[in-house]
Amino acid sequence: MFELADFFSWVVFLSTLGTVAFAWGLFLSNTAQRTPKQEEYEKFEERILELMGQFRHISSVRLQMLDKKIEELKKLIKEANTLYASLCTQETKFVEKFSYSVRMNGSESNRVEPETTEFQTDNNDGDAQGQSESLRTDTNNTSIERKILLLYQEGKSEQDIARELSIGVGEVMLILSLFRHRNDR
């Protein structure tokens, strides 16, 4: 019997050892099949690099087109600002001529009516205070830039303009500097 027990323990040991060896061999063969070969990696990497190159080319072309459009827009904005500044200076000259003619005539009945009646005053003495009040009432219907320019031409400080229009002093300074810059060219 002693031999029979030894025989069974050897059979169990050898069968366990065979099972472990078989499982290990199966594991190694499966792992070798799961990993792609080096050629597949290289092809995949080449394809990725090719796609990245195409993306870079397309994006650089689009960026160049966008830069050209931005330059065109800058030129158009510059032209529009120049025209707007010249219109504002023409309007200012008109307002100054109108104010001067009203002050010189002493009444509004002797003057030629402008296209709009926004500049008329209620008093007939023609003093400068009445004219600045009429200009201020005109500013209620105009853009903020015109309001700032008209109040600045009346001699008001940047702080007074900001307070009167309920905006920041920095905004007033910015608009005035932009118009000075436009008129300097």
Torsion angle (degrees, nearest 10) of CA 102, 108, 109, 111: 40
**Residue 106, phi-psi category: left (phi > 0), alpha (psi -120 to 50), beta (remainder):** left
Q: What percent of the chain has pLDDT over 70?
A: 70
Q: What pLDDT score does 65 carry?
A: 93
**Residue span of the structural domain in which 131 resides:** 79-184
Residue 140 amino acid letter:
N
Q: Between these two residues, 165 and 9, which has the higher pLDDT value?
A: 165
37 falls within a domain: no
92 falls within a domain: yes
Q: What pLDDT score does 66 carry?
A: 93
Residue 153 amino acid letter:
Q
- Coil/strand/helix, residue 143: coil
Over residues 7-38, the pLDDT tens digits come to 888 888 889 989 999 998 888 887 766 556 77
Over residues 104-137, the pLDDT tens digits come to 765 444 444 444 433 333 444 444 444 444 444 4
**What does the alpha-carbon distance between residue 117 and residue 55 come to, in Å, rounded to a whole number?**
61
31 falls within a domain: no
Torsion angle (degrees, nearest 10) of CA 62, 68, 74, 77: -90
27 falls within a domain: no
Which residue do the tokens 């030129």 mark? 75
Question: How many domains does the chain fold into?
Answer: 1
Which residue do the tokens 């031999």 mark? 3
86 falls within a domain: yes
Q: Per-residue confidence at 2, pLDDT binned at 50, 70, 90?
A: low
Q: Between these two residues, 115 and 163, which has the higher pLDDT value?
A: 163
